[in-house]
Amino acid sequence: MRPQQFDLIVFDWDGTLFDSTALITQSIQAAARDMGLAVPSRERASYVIGMGLNEALAHALPDLPVSRYPELGQRYRQHYVAAQHQITLFDGVLDMLGALKARHHWLAVATGKSRRGLNEVLQAEALRQMFDGTRTADETAGKPHPQMLNELMREFGVEPERTLMIGDTTHDLQLARNAGTASLGVSYGAHDAQTFAEFGPLHIAHSVNDLHAWLLKNA
């Protein structure tokens, strides 16, 4: 079966495919605590998920001097790595990706993670062949700048009207808007889905099963 509407489907990673939102938030808070800084609220810390590291730190800890970003980033990574074995893909993600591959969609990832971080999680055997392309925040412009999607569309020769961006944050949906592509939001990640409406997503999925069903019917 060929794609009906979208040749290229691009997924955010954290909070969309990977159940890591809580750990990222807690790791940001723990890193701030380690450094004797005011600990950002859960809402403030989770809002930055999907951004590049420097943009995320500037929002979560606006009073922190830029010169201390490397220290905070290192402490964040220590907390995240220590517990990352506890987190997994959301239930149903592999089945969904497999079904989309069987319909000959190109599948890609556009994420605020580092290249090193994404490569680590993609080492799992079940994921190695799932994605045709990936972009990370440290090798291109961070969200919501459109460069990630523009590069992926050029790589596969796909026009914006044949591209769909899926994510759990307003950064993902703004990225899609900036690149001129359609978007789809998921409500089970970092941001309150009530903030998605202004970006005009085609659908807001409330579970992976909901997302899977919509994609098979409409994508």
Domains contained in the chain, CATH given = 8-19+88-218 (3.40.50.1000), 21-86 (1.10.150)
Q: How confident is the model at residue 126 (pLDDT cuts 50, 70, 90)?
A: confident
Q: Quote the pTM value.
A: 0.79
Secondary structure (DSSP) of 87-111: --BPTTHHHHHHHHHHTT-EEEEEE
**Which pLDDT band holds residue 2 (cuts at 50, 70, 90)?**
low
Question: Residues of the chain with pLDDT > 70: what percent?
Answer: 97
